[in-house]
């Protein structure tokens, strides 16, 4: 995947875009790619998924509709808490958009939840694999300049809180052998409270912590301004390593799904373990996890739904965008 400033995205993409899919969110990052391509995709069939009905989200959704052109833009509400409803909505909306005709689909992964993004990817693979629809899939991801801002004190920085539910992602339930030990692979991000919760929930026999390379940070500002989160993350990893007898740490890419896929393949042990991957870092690395699970259906992907998000202070948009074509059936 390549990194580019938002002003250059349109030229870089070059060829025609037949479909544009994105998610409206409380984060302003949901507008970055649409803004960058506004003039180009006014004639494109677009699909906006949304979950939140907060004022910020509604405002961002309206801006998206305006950027994408009202006449060719559809909206589809998707659930955060009901995977079955989410799946039905995503499948229906995407099928109506793309159907069996196919084309070049640009998917802005930035502000989907991890679970929603995985279900979208799963359905696109279904269209390609089962229905033989010819889709060229390009992913964009708009990085954050800073995560967590405007707190009263550094100690009060937070992105999400609490755990509502921990569940396998529908379509990525995997195939387990009863009695085999569980290998839990966490793609650890800044929200390590959720990471701790999933470790306690799954009680794995083997644990692997995937840590994003600091030099790979999505934007050049991010590494410095998020020292607080890196330090919390280091403490968390140290505590887990003390309590657990089988912990492996590995560096992973958070900016290139294909590299994430290869790095995960080097770590997973599906021959001897029931493997669960829980992605909690960038959506790019989540797509990497999806690629692994599509390649090896034994592998399960798990999602941790938080209780609440820091909607007012979640992130500040950066100026860089990552993009690249994704082959869902690469080996």
Partner 1 sequence: MSSAISTPFSVKTAESLTPAEVASQFVDHEAYRKLIPAGHTFIEGPRGSGKSMLFRYMSPATQSVVTKQDISKLPFIGIIVPVKQANVQMPEMKLLSGSAARLIAENLLVTMVAIQVCRAFDDVLNHVGSDDKLLIEWINVLYTHIQFHVSDAGYTPSATKVECEPAEKLKHCLFALANVERVTQDYLNSLVFCTELPNYGKRLLNYQFFLFPLFEALLAKNQNQNQTFYILVDDADWLREEQTRVLNTWVSFRTSNTVSFKAACQLDYKTFLTSGTRRIESPHDFSRVNLSTIYTQGSYEGWVKNVIEKRLSAFNISVSAEDFFVEDKKQKEKLLTIQREIQSTDWGGPSTDRKRDDAYRYARPELIRRLGGKSKQSSTFLYCGFNQLVDISNATIRFFLESASEMYALQQQKDSPNETHYISPSIQNSVVRNQATHMLQANFDEIVRDYAAGEDSKDLVQKVKQVKNLVDVIGSAFYASLISPTRSERRVLAFALQTEPSDELQEILRLAVSLNFFTVSSIGKKEGFGRTKRYVINRRIAPYYNLDPSGFSGYFWVTSELLLRASTDPAKGKDELRARLPTIMEGAQMTLSIDDLNTDTAFLEIQEVDDEKN
| Residues of this chain that bind partner 1 (CB under 8 A) | 81, 83-84, 87, 91, 122-123, 126, 130, 161-171, 173-182, 193-194, 196-197, 200-205, 239, 241-250, 274, 297, 300, 307-308
Nearer to partner 1, 32 or 52 (CB): 52
CA distances from 105 to 7, 50, 63 (A): 20, 18, 21
Nearer to partner 1, 31 or 107 (CB): 107
SS3 213: coil
Largest CA distance in the chain: 58
Place of tokens 């405002």: 59
Q: Return the number of other C-beta atoms located less than 10 Å from residue 11's C-beta.
A: 9
Nearer to partner 1, 38 or 170 (CB): 170
Q: How far is the CB of 216 from partner 1 (least distance, A)?
A: 18
Nearer to partner 1, 149 or 244 (CB): 244
Q: How far is the CB of 275 from partner 1 (least distance, A)?
A: 11
Give the C-alpha separation, 251 to 210, whole Å: 6
Both tokens assigned to 210 = 């995937």
Q: How far is the CB of 16 from partner 1 (least distance, A)?
A: 27
With contact defined as beta carbons under 8 Å apart, do 46 and 75 qualify?
Answer: no
Q: How far is the CB of 268 from partner 1 (least distance, A)?
A: 16
Both tokens assigned to 42 = 């006014």
Beta bridge partners of 46: 20, 73
Give the C-alpha separation, 290 to 199, whole Å: 20
SS3 83: helix
Q: How far is the CB of 280 from partner 1 (least distance, A)?
A: 14
Closest CA to 295 of 273, 272, 275: 275
HSE (CB half, 13 Å, CA atoms) of 238?
Answer: 6
Could you give the dihedral angle defined by the CA atoms of residues 317, 147, 138 and 34, in that order, rounded to the nearest 10 degrees? -20
Nearer to partner 1, 88 or 330 (CB): 88
33-54 core/surface letters (b: 16 or more CB in 10 A; e: else)? bbbbbbebbeebbbbbbbbbee
Nearer to partner 1, 83 or 143 (CB): 83
Nearer to partner 1, 124 or 287 (CB): 124
Q: How far is the CB of 66 from partner 1 (least distance, A)?
A: 29
Q: How far is the CB of 126 from partner 1 (least distance, A)?
A: 5
State the Rg of the chain over Cα: 19
Place of tokens 């798990």: 302
Q: How far is the CB of 325 from partner 1 (least distance, A)?
A: 23
Q: How far is the CB of 201 from partner 1 (least distance, A)?
A: 6
Nearer to partner 1, 64 or 169 (CB): 169
Nearer to partner 1, 153 or 178 (CB): 178
With contact defined as beta carbons under 8 Å apart, do 104 and 136 qualify?
Answer: yes
């Amino acid at each position: 995947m390549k990194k580019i400033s938002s002003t250059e995205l349109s030229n870089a993409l070059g060829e025609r875009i037949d479909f544009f899919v994105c998610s409206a969110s409380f984060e302003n990052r949901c507008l970055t790619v649409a803004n960058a391509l506004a003039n180009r995709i006014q004639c494109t069939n677009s699909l906006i998924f949304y979950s939140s009905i907060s004022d910020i989200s509604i405002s961002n959704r309206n801006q998206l509709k305006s950027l994408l052109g009202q006449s060719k833009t559809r909206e589809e509400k998707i659930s955060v808490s009901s995977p079955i409803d989410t799946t039905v909505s995503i499948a229906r909306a995407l099928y109506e958009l793309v159907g069996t005709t196919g084309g070049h689909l640009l998917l802005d992964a930035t502000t989907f939840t991890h679970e929603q993004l995985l279900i979208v990817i799963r359905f696109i693979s279904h269209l390609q694999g089962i229905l033989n629809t010819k889709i060229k899939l390009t992913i964009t991801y708009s990085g954050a300049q800073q995560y967590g801002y405007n707190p009263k004190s550094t100690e009060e920085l937070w992105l999400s809180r609490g755990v509502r539910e921990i569940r396998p992602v529908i379509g990525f339930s995997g195939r387990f052998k009863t009695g085999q030990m569980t290998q839990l692979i966490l793609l650890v991000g800044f929200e390590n409270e959720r990471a701790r919760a999933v470790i306690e929930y799954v009680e794995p026999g083997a644990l692997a912590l995937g840590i994003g390379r600091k030099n790979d940070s999505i934007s050049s500002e991010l590494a410095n301004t998020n020292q607080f989160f890196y330090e919390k993350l280091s403490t968390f990893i140290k505590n887990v390593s003390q309590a657990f007898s089988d912990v492996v740490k590995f560096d992973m890419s958070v900016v290139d799904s294909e590299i994430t896929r290869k790095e995960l393949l080097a770590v997973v042990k599906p021959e001897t373990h029931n493997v669960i991957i829980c992605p909690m870092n960038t959506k790019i690395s989540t797509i990497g996890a999806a690629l692994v699970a599509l390649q090896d259906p034994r592998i399960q992907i798990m999602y941790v739904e938080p209780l609440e998000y820091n909607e007012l202070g979640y992130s500040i948009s950066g100026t860089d965008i990552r993009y690249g074509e994704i082959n869902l059936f690469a080996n």
